[in-house]
């Protein structure tokens, strides 16, 4: 349960949320992304009051304006890398093949565009997930333990790529992580303890 959380994130800013397991990090991220509804308080994301918004409005916000990156990759197994990269942007009506190609190049995925997720390493799958989240050029990117399933070296490389891409596009990034080195790469770090920000 979150208690008295007060957090403002500006466009272009990266904020890391750290804390022990069960402290409310993922809950906070899910509230910001409209995946969960707040019981009380105020929650405004990109001008939408998510506290009072109906499910349809929260879904539209996620689809059109929020890129989400998860620990489990959540790629669509039946789609190629190219189709997975384009998926979110197509849903938002902002698919740009040139942008997808540029993202693939920046993420080192160009030689893998015809492959399927099962043919990729964990690091490659997470790079696809990052590209998918950014392909629609969202103003807000939410990342929940994006390097949690990767070894240290791969995780570092993936994190650096993600932060560089987000910064170049001027998106806001809210990142949940247990990794203090990764948190240190963000513009700001906040810590959740027993549902409260410290």
**pTM for the complete prediction?**
0.91
CATH number at residue 35: 3.40.50.300
Residue 63 lies in a domain: yes
Residue 9 lies in a domain: no
Residue 59 lies in a domain: yes
Residue 6 lies in a domain: no
Cβ 156 vs Cβ 126: under 8 Å? no
Q: How far apart are CA 73 and CA 188, in angstroms?
A: 25
What are φ and ψ of residue 181, in 5° steps? Answer: -60, -40
Residue 2 lies in a domain: no
Q: How many domains does the chain have?
A: 1
160 is in which domain, residue-wise?
A: 14-197
Instruction: Count CB neighbours of 164 within 10 A.
Output: 12
pLDDT tens by residue, 62-121: 889 999 998 888 999 999 999 999 998 998 888 999 999 999 999 999 999 999 999 999
Q: What is the pLDDT of residue 5?
A: 85
What are φ and ψ of residue 132, in 5° steps? Answer: -60, -45
């Amino acid at each position: 349960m979150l208690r008295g959380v007060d957090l403002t994130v500006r466009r272009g800013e990266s904020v890391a949320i750290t804390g022990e397991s069960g402290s409310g990090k993922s809950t906070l991220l899910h509230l910001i992304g409209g995946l969960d509804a707040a019981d009380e308080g105020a929650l405004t994301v990109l001008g939408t009051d998510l506290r009072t918004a109906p499910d349809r409005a929260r879904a539209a916000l996620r689809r059109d304006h929020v890129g989400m990156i998860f620990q489990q990759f959540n790629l669509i197994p039946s789609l190629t890398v190219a189709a997975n990269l384009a998926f979110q942007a197509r849903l938002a009506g902002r698919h740009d093949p040139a942008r997808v190609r540029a993202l693939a190049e920046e993420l080192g995925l160009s030689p893998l565009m015809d492959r399927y997720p099962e043919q990729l390493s964990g690091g490659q799958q997470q790079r696809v997930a990052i590209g998918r989240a950014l392909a629609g050029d969202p103003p807000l990117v939410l990342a929940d333990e994006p390097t949690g399933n990767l070894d240290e070296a791969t995780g570092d490389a993936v994190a650096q790529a993600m932060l560089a891409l987000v910064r170049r596009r001027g998106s806001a990034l809210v990142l949940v992580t247990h990794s203090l080195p990764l948190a240190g790469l963000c513009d700001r770090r906040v810590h959740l303890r027993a549902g409260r920000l410290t």
